[in-house]
Amino acid sequence: MSNVPSELKYVASHEWLRMEDDGTITIGITDHAQEALGDIVYVELPDVGDTVAVDDEVAVVESVKAASDVYAPITGEVVAINEALEDDPEVINTDPYGEGWMYRIKPDNADDFDSLLSAEEYQADL
């Protein structure tokens, strides 16, 4: 069974979200997603300053098995990216909820965060 931390929010397309103290939202792919992909070898991230809407393709994760699009789970502006993934993309496999985070968004509407899936709801869909 995949690791699904209860303090995070989720979307059915296997992204997780964490509200930060400054009101930004950190986003990455779930443990389930990285397990399904296998060994990750490359990550293409959005640019800081990009404006994204829900369901926009914002990143690409390539593994030894496949390339997979990562979709925006919330609307807002990209304010940070995890540049360490350029040199060490496989950290997503070893620490998807920590050092393997992908990008951070300043949401247009912070209330949208509350409407996302809880850990229990996400797990029920796996």
Q: In the chain, what are the domains?
A: 9-108 (2.40.50.100)
Q: What is the pLDDT of residue 33?
A: 95
Burial class (CB within 10 angstroms; exposed 0-12, middle 13-18, buried 19+) of 27: buried
Average pLDDT of the residues in 74-97? 97
Q: What is the pLDDT of residue 125?
A: 83
Kindly tell me if the per-residue pLDDT of 110 is higher than 80.
yes
Kindly tell me if the per-residue pLDDT of 1 is higher than 60.
no
CB 20 within 8 A of CB 116: no
pLDDT tens string 6-57: 999 999 999 999 999 999 999 999 999 999 999 999 999 999 999 999 999 9
| Tokens 């300053």 belong to residue | 49
